Homo-oligomer: A and B are copies of this chain.
């Protein structure tokens, strides 16, 4: 399904590099490959050993950094961030990395973060009562305050101390003049991997960033692990008795790039397995299988292969749709002007179609696509979803809707089928999903967070988290 339609979006991607003389450039290309995780803004902070420099900008990585701006970021280490536009937020002030300067200029701190803290408001309240002031609405600022206020003498201990007060899902990267620190939450909910590029170390939200820069994958950052990289090399501590990993299953289903590996499981392969599993659970007599571009293509291929039905390009996405697009008038929309997605009449006309999609959030897009297919002459449209119904909101950094907006939370499957005008509708089972994801993997013992399907959240949830926008300051 299309990210811009769905309201189901990753909230960020992080990248870090240590020990490369063109650190900022490496970060630029790394972030570029993580662009699907956030398009609102991008930033890179570097250190040359003496001082931190930073550049941030709105828009895509290629828009935030103009020719020449990368060259002004000198240094051998960098952290970078791509940001997804959350409701209400926005503007450069919330773009990351955030840079906190000390008046001496030698103990500055840059922080970039992917995830969501569930007790951020509680901690902010406490910090404010002690005199701290906040300039952004992001969780990231909380971490910096906790580090600065920690009484421990060295940075790793301060960091460990700060993390011990935070609950939720996170992948943190922290850069000082002479150190790179990275950390993952105790449940390991957000992906974060370590790689090598010659002598340099690289860290990224997804392994596709390693391929793009020619780096080799080394390992995942472990749940509850702090990794420190500096001139003396790399070292690691665990700051929490790690529970079993609960990596976000939506990363496999929808969010990550198909060429990334998560816990050493290739995302495309996992999706294809989900599609095969779906074909086993929910077969149907049909002429063609088609996937909703781009994220459902792999599952559709798997469904087709398992079912022995030809896989076809029944839906096509216009790759030139961008933000500067002039919207059609209401009248033209009613006449049928549509810009983002087309059904391929020559393919679907007169056919019984299996339409594979990865997930359903509000259900409006599915309705629109079923109609596109029927208008193009499809005889029957059988909707197959390669994940279970989403019935609970996510508090760990995925921008799903509120519970009231989640169609599967308030409707039966038959009601949903009727609403979308499909001839049949089936979701993958939760067991089928786990089977599908782990089938392709070398390490099938890894747990997954399935909270949005089951309501079983891997951490406690705070009152403030449940109504996160009530107190949001306009910005």
Residues of A within 8 A of B (CB): 22, 25-26, 28-29, 32-33, 35-36, 51-55, 60-63, 65-67, 70, 91-93, 98-105, 108-109, 121, 124-125, 128, 130-137, 144-145, 148-149, 197-198, 208, 211-214, 257-261, 265-269, 272, 294, 297-298, 301, 305, 310-313, 316, 318-320, 322, 324-326, 328-329, 331-332, 335-339, 342-347, 376, 440, 471-475
- From B66, B258, B261, B471, A105 is in contact (CB under 8 Å) with B471
Q: Nearest B residue to A126 by beta-carbon distance? A: B103
B-chain residues with CB within 8 Å of residue A121 when the two chains form the complex: 103
Given contacts A66-B324, A267-B346, A337-B213, is CB(A103)–CB(B125) below 8 Å?
Answer: yes
Q: B residues within 8 A CB of A311?
A: 301, 305, 311
CB atoms of B471 and A346 under 8 A apart: no
Distance between Cα atoms of A54 and B36 in the complex (Å): 28
Residues of chain B within 8 A of A269, CB atoms compared? 346-347
Copies of this chain present in the complex amount to 4
Task: Tell me whether A212 and B326 are in contact in the complex, defined as CB-CB below 8 angstroms, given that A133-B144, A148-B132, A268-B347 are known contacts.
Answer: no
On whether A29 and B99 interact (CB within 8 A), knowing A128-B148, A261-B345, A472-B105, the answer reads no
State the Cβ distance, A441 to closest chain B Cβ, in Å. Answer: 10
A381 to B267, CA, bound (A): 22
* Distance, CA A204 to CA B261, complexed state (A): 43
Q: 8 A-B Cβ contacts within 8 A? A: A32-B318, A36-B319, A52-B473, A63-B324, A103-B121, A259-B344, A260-B346, A268-B344
Q: Is the CB of A61 within 8 A of B320?
A: yes
Q: Is the CB of B105 within 8 A of A133?
A: no
A350 to chain B, nearest CB (A): 12
B residues near A257, Cβ cutoff 8 Å: 316
A290 nearest CB across to chain B (Å): 11
In the complex the two chains form, is B60's CB within 8 Å of A347's CB? no
Q: Most B CB atoms within 10 A — which of A91, A136, A145, A332?
A: A332
Query: Which chain B residues lie closer than 8 Å to A36 at the CB level?
Result: 319-320
Shortest C-beta distance, A374 to chain B (Å), equals: 14
Contact B325 A62 (CB under 8 A): yes
Known A22-B331, A52-B474: A346·B259 in contact at CB below 8 Å: yes
Chain B residue numbers with a CB within 8 Å of A149 are 131
Q: Once the chains bind, are B51 and A474 in contact (CB under 8 Å)?
A: yes
A331: chain B residues at CB < 8 Å are: 22
Given A128-B103, A346-B268, A347-B269, A316 contacting B259 (CB threshold 8 A): yes
- Once the chains bind, are A211 and B337 in contact (CB under 8 Å)? no
Contacting pair B35 A100 (CB below 8 A): no
Instruction: Report the Cα distance A325→B25, complex, angstroms.
Output: 12
B133 adjacent to A342 (CB under 8 Å):
no
**Considering the chains assembled together, what is the distance between the CA atoms of A109 and B138 in angstroms?**
17
Q: In the complex, what distance in Å separates the CA atom of A298 from the CA atom of B22?
A: 40
Contact of A25 among B294, B328, B347, B472 (CB under 8 A): B328
Given contacts A301-B311, A311-B311, A471-B105, are A213 and B336 in contact (CB under 8 A)?
Answer: yes
Q: How far is the CB of A1 from chain B (nearest CB, A)?
A: 15
Q: Check A471 against B130 for contact (C-beta < 8 Å).
A: no
In the A-B complex, the 6 residue pairs with the closest CB atoms = A214-B336, A266-B346, A103-B124, A131-B149, A259-B344, A105-B473
